[in-house]
A and B are shown apart, each in its own frame.
Chain A
Amino acid sequence: MKIILKNGYVYDPINNINGEVMDIFIKDGKIVNEFREKDAKVIDCKGKVVMPGAIDIHSHIAGGKVNTGRILRPEDHRRFVIARKFKNGKFFRSGAGFSVPSTRITGYLYAKMGYTMAFTPALPPLMARHTHEELSSIPIIDKGALTLMGNNWFVMKYLKAGEIEKCAAFAAWLLKAVKGYAIKVVNPGGGEAWGWGKNVTSLEDRVPYFDITPKEIIEGLMKVNEMLKLPHSEHLHTINLGRVGNYETTIKTMKLARGLENRDRHVLQITHAQFHSYGGESWKSFESKAYEVAKAVNKMKNVAIDVGFVTLDPTTTMTADGPMEYYLSSLTHLKWTNKDIELETAPGVTPYNYSPKSAVSSVQWAVGLELALLVEDPWRVMLTTDHPNGGPFIRYPRIIAWLMSRKYREDFMKNMNKAVEKRAIISSLDREYDLYEIAIITRASQARALGLKEKGHLGVGADADVAVYDINPEELNTAEYEKIERAFSNAYLTIKSGEIVVKEGEVVNEFYGKTYYVDVEVEEELMQEVERDLDYYFKRYYSVNLANYPVSLDYLTNPTKIERKIERVKVIK
């Protein structure tokens, strides 16, 4: 199918295009050079905004704990139901769930907002098959899964023994086996300590039995990441998430990236930084330390953040940080569940109601916005809510409107706990994002972080994933923030792989997107050594046979491989 999007205001930061009126030419799923209008579908985008399809680098949309969340929360499904629909000779399936939507509508809801890609950020290797089965029933969007390694027995064992090459070879083997995309680290060492009824609270704490520290795990995996030349950086949920006064740990964590470099991207992503930017001595004196954290991010050019905004909604929290979830549930007296994954990780799930009336929640709301407004370089900021932890992804349009409109923030704060004015600085921040900056934090910076050259832009050769919004930049008045929110909630047009999938906020077509995974080849002798260890430890400790562990490509929709060939793994000191 050939499509021409005519006369829209184009925002394409990767190609330095800032609101220029241009035509975009689409053919066979790609953005191409100009062609003649004959036999193409020409769509008038005059007075509208054209952006690359949006990308969500961190959204819990599939996997063991997401499904555990669905099982835990029938009441969440009762409050948000989408009925089956017949359109263009096709049935679009029903689904339910406000904070943990079922798979099918996850794809629809993303597409409706102009999103064309989302990565689920916590794939427990042993649950990989299940995770891919869920991903494979999410339509429209492209997908991928970040692989949990921060509490993995092999990783801790190799790093402790100073065998970082073996650790790298293991990481390469693991990513390929589970069809994962990147190294994800969650509460490094804390998950393992939790198995002993403990946790880690400082970067220097020692993990029971393995006798390794969170610092050593973070640094080790950051080096492994660069030794393997992976497309994405280490993706780190550092220790002390959600704890009062945790901002110092966060800044210390960022400093661990010193001395490491990568030409194309940052080397460390502090994920859901909002949950890690808290000050105070107790919940009573809980306050925002976004200023301090943002200052550190501004200095550390090789570190990026995704924000993890709090949207002030009732939601479900789910992290591979089991002890944190248990702690949270004991504060709220709400139901909680744990999902132990043998030698690998132990996520927890509990509901949480972020109420604007609560002092803590209202400050958390401010922390996210302050981070986004105070980090100067939008290329190192990514819009996320850590869905569903800070709020459901369907709230992204509202976050965009908050960032673009100071008036919206002020109006929204009127009904909030007064703590937001005393223990946060949000009310003093004038900055308003423009459409170009929004395009960066929702598209360009995320594509760059993932190292995907064909994504996040509209240059010739890019995948034809495009969103058109009914906003006229010439007439844009940020005081009319409802209009902004409405426009980003209902894309005028979403094009995925060159096909129209959403028209005026309604899904009109569906098919399956790509699933990205990484395949790194390392030298044979090294891999053989690791395979001997795998054999030995799987027989001894795993409940599955090694041969049954890897996930075959049959489980992925349109599997798309990112290849690396490392002749000889070189240790980074």
Chain B
Amino acid sequence: MKEIFLKFKGSKTVLEAEVINPNVFAGKKLSEIENLTVYHGNRRAKLGEFFDVEGSTSEDARELRIVVEGDLEKVKRIGENMSEGEILIKGNAGMHTGDFMSGGRIVVEGNVASFCATEMKGGEFIVKGDAGDYLGSAYRGNWIGMQGGLIVVEGNVGRESCAHMSGGKAIIRGTAGDFAGVHMRKGTIIIEGKANRAGAQMIGGTIVILTNVDPLPSFELVGEESDIEVDGERFSGTFLKYIGDKAELRAKGTLYIRK
């Protein structure tokens, strides 16, 4: 694995840097990488203006890891559209990190802002801290959210995570804000902590909540199950099984809540 190190010099204004992507870096010299375009407010700028670039490049994106260092809360769109390789973010990351990714792996050691891993199709998106709102959801207005791949958040997530989820798996170790999995069609969400109003308007897919919470009243209790297995994951204990959201026509979503 070849590594490229990007050290953030800071910026007062928001920076859009979708070029930080192994697919884009592959086959480029360090000087070419420094010359890539980023958007600084309404101005075009060069990546090198905002980042020190070091390390060694590769022809093959699969053999490339980009390590980004610094407080990147104001840097948006890192890893957007990536399909191969790795990005390691040592710090917090801004909005739209990992949007539309279809493969490869992004690891964020800090927190991520809202609208990250939007409409993700494949790959892995790992967050050691917390995530903002709309993690793995559909982009504004759209009705197809995450379609494949894996999201893992060690901390808490904000509201409407995995909205319109249509495939893939998301594991949330902490608490989920309101409406996790709203409008869900397919896929799996596992929430270890509390989750309020999870699965509203879902018509398919499965949500497992490992903490005892009240479901929305439009979910129908169909029975109890013990030591369940969902999407390759096993969970011990007794679970209440609900079908819903019955506010929708012919809804067949499954909601497990630990008893």
- Chain B residue with Cβ nearest A353: B143
- A282 CB to closest chain B CB, in angstroms? 14
- A78 CB to closest chain B CB, in angstroms? 7
* Cα–Cα distance between A217 and B203 once the two chains are bound (Å): 40
- B181 CB to closest chain A CB, in angstroms? 14
Q: Please tell me if the beta carbons of B249 and A334 are within 8 angstroms of each other in the complex.
A: no
* Cα–Cα distance between A327 and B142 once the two chains are bound (Å): 20
* Cα–Cα distance between A351 and B144 once the two chains are bound (Å): 13
Q: Is B225 an interface residue when CB atoms closer than 8 A count as contact?
A: no
* Cα–Cα distance between A112 and B140 once the two chains are bound (Å): 30
Per a CB cutoff under 8 Å, which of B141, B203, B248 touches A75? B141
- A75 CB to closest chain B CB, in angstroms? 4
- Chain A residue with Cβ nearest B139: A75
Q: Is B183 an interface residue when CB atoms closer than 8 A count as contact?
A: yes
Q: Is A76 an interface residue when CB atoms closer than 8 A count as contact?
A: yes
Which residues from B are CB-within-8-Å of A72?
A: 141
Q: Please tell me if the beta carbons of A333 and B141 are within 8 angstroms of each other in the complex.
A: no
Could you tell me how many residues of chain B have their Cβ less than 8 Å away from some Cβ of chain A? 11
Q: Is A252 an interface residue when CB atoms closer than 8 A count as contact?
A: no
* Cα–Cα distance between A74 and B249 once the two chains are bound (Å): 25
Q: Please tell me if the beta carbons of B141 and A76 are within 8 angstroms of each other in the complex.
A: yes
Binding site of B, secondary structure by majority: helix, strand, loop or mixed?
loop
* Cα–Cα distance between A78 and B140 once the two chains are bound (Å): 10
Which residues from B are CB-within-8-Å of A333?
A: 183, 185, 201, 203, 248-249
- Chain A residue with Cβ nearest B251: A333
- Chain A residue with Cβ nearest B204: A333
Among B139, B141, B143, find the residue whose CB has the most chain A CB atoms closer than 10 A: B141
Q: Mark B220-251, 1 if CB is under 8 A from A, else 0.
A: 00000000000000000000000000001100
- B147 CB to closest chain A CB, in angstroms? 15
Which residues from A are CB-within-8-Å of B143?
A: 334-335, 351
* Cα–Cα distance between A557 and B14 once the two chains are bound (Å): 42
Per a CB cutoff under 8 Å, which of B139, B201, B203, B248 touches A78? B139
Q: Please tell me if the beta carbons of A330 and B141 are within 8 angstroms of each other in the complex.
A: no
Q: Please tell me if the beta carbons of B141 and A73 are within 8 angstroms of each other in the complex.
A: yes
Q: Is A547 an interface residue when CB atoms closer than 8 A count as contact?
A: no
Q: Mark B174-214, 1 if CB is under 8 A from A, else 0.
A: 00000000010100000000000000010100000000000
* Cα–Cα distance between A333 and B200 once the two chains are bound (Å): 12
Which 3 interchain pairs have the tightest Cβ spacing? A74-B141, A75-B141, A75-B142
- Mark A residues whose CB is within 8 Å of B: 72-76, 78, 330-331, 333-335, 351
Q: A75-B139, A333-B185 are in contact. List 12 more A-B contacts (CB 8 A).
A: A72-B141, A73-B141, A74-B141, A75-B140, A75-B141, A76-B141, A78-B141, A330-B249, A333-B248, A334-B143, A335-B143, A351-B143
- Mark B residues whose CB is within 8 Å of A: 139-143, 183, 185, 201, 203, 248-249
Task: Provide 24 A-B residue pairs closer than 8 Å at the C-beta atoms, listed in order of the A residue.
Answer: A72-B141, A73-B141, A74-B140, A74-B141, A75-B139, A75-B140, A75-B141, A75-B142, A76-B141, A78-B139, A78-B140, A78-B141, A330-B248, A330-B249, A331-B249, A333-B183, A333-B185, A333-B201, A333-B203, A333-B248, A333-B249, A334-B143, A335-B143, A351-B143
